Each structure stands twice: as structure tokens, then as C-alpha cells.
Amino acid sequence: MSEALFIGIDISKENNLAQFMDNDGVTISKPLSFPNNQKGLETFLKLIQRLSKLHSPSKINIGMEATGFYWWHLLEALESFAPDTSKVQLFTINPSLIKQFKNTYPTLPKTDAIDAWVIADRLRFGRLSPVDKRSLLYAPLARLTRLRYNLKKDIRKGKNRALKLISLKFSDFFKASGKRTFNNSSLELLNDFTLEQITEKTIEELAEYILAKGNNRTKNPQEFAKAIKKAARNSYRLNSKMEDTVSVALSMTIENIRFLENQCKKIDNSIARELKAIDQTLTTIPGIGPALAAGIVSEIGGVKRFPSEKSLAKFAGLTWHKTQSGNFEAEETSLTKSGNVFLRYYLVEAANSLRLHNKEYAAYYNRKYQEATKHKHKRALVLTARKFVRLVFALLSNGQIYQEGGNN
């Protein structure tokens, strides 16, 4: 009986290639190329069963790189095939780990067979965490929260494009709008009127328009109208052709932003519904709504797989490079950013919400903001997110609800 059978699979859209290795690093079968579909899976399983009868391994470890979505169907099918996790363990491995490990073999060529062999060999060296079946329960929710992440990213890009176009159409607009730039009344104003039309309107007419487009929620519409009218008079004038093209581009950009924001509202509703089926207590924290909680718990995928809050922080990439030589140690250190980008995003977003809704985290943020010599907001926000990891780990590990000052 061999101690273990290690199977590395190189995944692609059309075909997979598997390598089979024993505990001593000896390949015990020819590489198997099989289609990445149900029929190919059956061929793969038959070979595993044949090798199991021939070698009687005590354990079967199957690993693949977690790239794209091509691995998902195979992993889910293998989960059904391997109910006995004491013998069969599945691993999805970060591609960067495989790349670094392959660098220890500088003469190896780049082929699918070699890549599968490297994955099997990396499995043989151990110190990898197998897939926790419970973590797969969070995968459907993660699809929604990752879509939300990308929608928010697209909205930011759209707003950056809009800002450039606004500066062309209405050069002094930002002096008047301030934080109101992307309010509905501001966007409608930019869409509906030229600079000349704004200057020709009375303050009362502009104020009435701003109030109506802002659903009667705009504060001090008269003052805003005065500022807009003054900015319109002082702004540069574009030639007619440039003005027309900029107006069209700005109108379409605003339309895209509104569409994406509407999509975000829909995805937030879906996320809230899905989150109800998951046992979590993060929404008991003031400032943490369903979308933020879902983004965090879905990427963690079951907190029990992390031995400590430090390992969770490392998984999120909320650790810092240490720069030290002799008696010198750098004061400014950079974030590693090598972890789960989605989890880090939701933790930082949560920190930004906490600084506005939680006294303890607001005080911590302000203290770190004052201590920072540069990049004050970003640095304080990331440090607040790192502090928040401790609370997340405590609440999810113990199933506790949030108690101000009592969970950290």
C-alpha cells in the first residue's frame, strides 16, 4: 500500500490533463488528457478507480489551479464522487503558489503535462488546505457579491469619464456643485441646458428646476442656483461642434452611470435575499448592511478554516511588507495586496461605513488619520479595516451578535 496518491490537473476550457504521482514523486501512470465535460469526468474517475485498486493508496489528493471558472464543474463533480474526505481530499490552489513552486525547477518547459506534474508535486510537499465542503455553500452568494464589486468598479470609471466631460462642457461647474456633482438635479441640469440657457434663466427658475429634479430634497436650492448661474457666466465657451459632441458623450455617460446604479440596486436586493439563508451576525454591527456582510462572509467561505484572525487578515491581503536591514527599519511600509481582492474591497468598504456609524471605529480612524504623514485617508481606512478583521473573526467564530466595545 502506498502512502498517498497525488493527482495534479491542468484545467482549460476544452480539455484537462492529469498527472499521477506517488508519495516518492514517481509518476505511476501516463498523463491522462480528458475533455472538460461530463463524459471526460467519467473517463478520469475510471482511471482513478483502477489506480486505487492497483496501488491501494491510503489517501488520494487531487489538486487544480483556481483560475477562471473552468475548474468549478470538475470540483463540484469530484465532491460528489468523494464523500469520504478522510481518504479523498480536493485542493484548489492559488496559481501564484504554483508559479513560485515551478521556479524551483528552472529547466522545466511550459506544457500542460508539465504544469499538471508541478501541481501534483506541489500537493506532495503538503502545507495546503483542502477544500472545505461548507465553503462551497458560499459560492453562489460570492457570484452576486463579485458582480456587485465589478458594477461598482464600472460606476467609478463612468464617473471619472463624466468628470472630464463636465470640465469641458462647464469649466467652473465644480466650484458651484461641490459634493452635489452627481446628484440627480446636477446631472439633469447638465443634460438639459447649455451655458447660455443657464445664464438666461432667473435664479427663481433655476431654483425651481433644481428642487423639482432633486425630488424636493435639495438643500438651499436658491443658493445652489446662484452659484450655478455665476459659474455658467465665468466658464469657458466651446465652439459649437465641440459643444455638441461633448454634450452627446456626457449624456450617454450619465445614462450608463444611472443604468449601472439601477443594476446595483437590483443586485443588492438579490444579495439581501440570499444572505438570509446564511448563518452570520455581521449585520448586527451598526453600519454593516446586507451587501457588505455578504461580500465578507461569501469570500471567507466559512471562518473555521482560518486558525486565527491573523491568517484571515493575510488571506485578505491586509498585511504589510516589512523593510528592515541592520538597525534600519522603514516607517513607511506598503500593503502586500497579495490576498483575496474581493474580501479586501468589502472589508475596506465596511471600514469606511464604520467610521461614520460606530464611535469606536470613528475614534480609531481619526487617530490613525492624524498619525499618518501621507495618504492619510487611505492609510487610516486600511488600518481600520485591519482592526475590523479581528471583530469579524470573533463574531463569526463564536456566533455572537455585536456588542459595542465587548467583542474585540
Reported as a single tens digit per residue, the pLDDT across 280-295 is 999 999 999 999 999 9
Cβ partners under 8 Å of residue 289, min gap 6: 283, 353
- Which H or E run contains 65? strand 60-65
Decide if 5-131 and 141-272 have a common fold. Answer: no
Please report the beta strands in 32-181, taking only residues with DSSP state E, as ranges in sequence order: 32-35, 60-65, 88-93
Mean pLDDT estimate for the chain:
90
Which CATH architecture describes the domain 5-131? Answer: 2-Layer Sandwich (3.30)
Check residue 81 and give its pLDDT: 74
Check residue 324 and give its pLDDT: 40
Select 141-272's CATH number: 1.10.287, 1.10.3470, 2.40.10, 1.20.120.
Answer: 1.10.287
Q: Between 384 and 180, where is the model more confident? A: 384
Reported as a single tens digit per residue, the pLDDT across 43-76 is 999 999 999 999 999 999 999 998 778 899 999 8
Alpha-carbon distances, residue 212 vs 173, 194, 242 (angstroms): 20, 19, 30
Count other C-beta atoms under 10 Å from residue 377's C-beta. 13
Annotate 104-114 with b (16+ C-beta within 10 A) or e (fewer). eeeeeeeebbb
Reported as a single tens digit per residue, the pLDDT across 190-220 is 999 999 999 999 999 999 999 999 887 888 8
Reported as a single tens digit per residue, the pLDDT across 1-18 is 468 999 999 999 999 999
The answer, yes or no, to whether residue 330 has pLDDT greater than 60, is no
Reported as a single tens digit per residue, the pLDDT across 230-268 is 999 999 999 999 999 999 999 999 999 999 999 999 999
The mean pLDDT value for 126-151 works out to 88
Alpha-carbon distances, residue 218 vs 9, 75, 83, 148, 213 (angstroms): 59, 53, 60, 28, 9
Instruction: Give, rounded to a whole angstrom, the gap between the first and last alpha carbons of the chain.
Output: 49
Query: Helix (H, G, I), strand (E, B), or coil: what is residue 367?
Result: helix
Q: Can you tell me the distance from the alpha carbon of 345 to that of 333, in angstroms, rounded to the nearest whole number?
A: 20
Q: Domain map of the chain by residue range?
A: 5-131, 141-272, 282-398
Check residue 327 and give its pLDDT: 45
Check residue 195 and give its pLDDT: 94
Reported as a single tens digit per residue, the pLDDT across 300-328 is 998 988 999 999 999 999 987 554 444 43
Check residue 137 and give its pLDDT: 84
Give residue for cell 457579491. 145
Pairing of strands 60-65, 88-93: parallel
Instruction: State the cell numbers at 275.
Output: 444572505
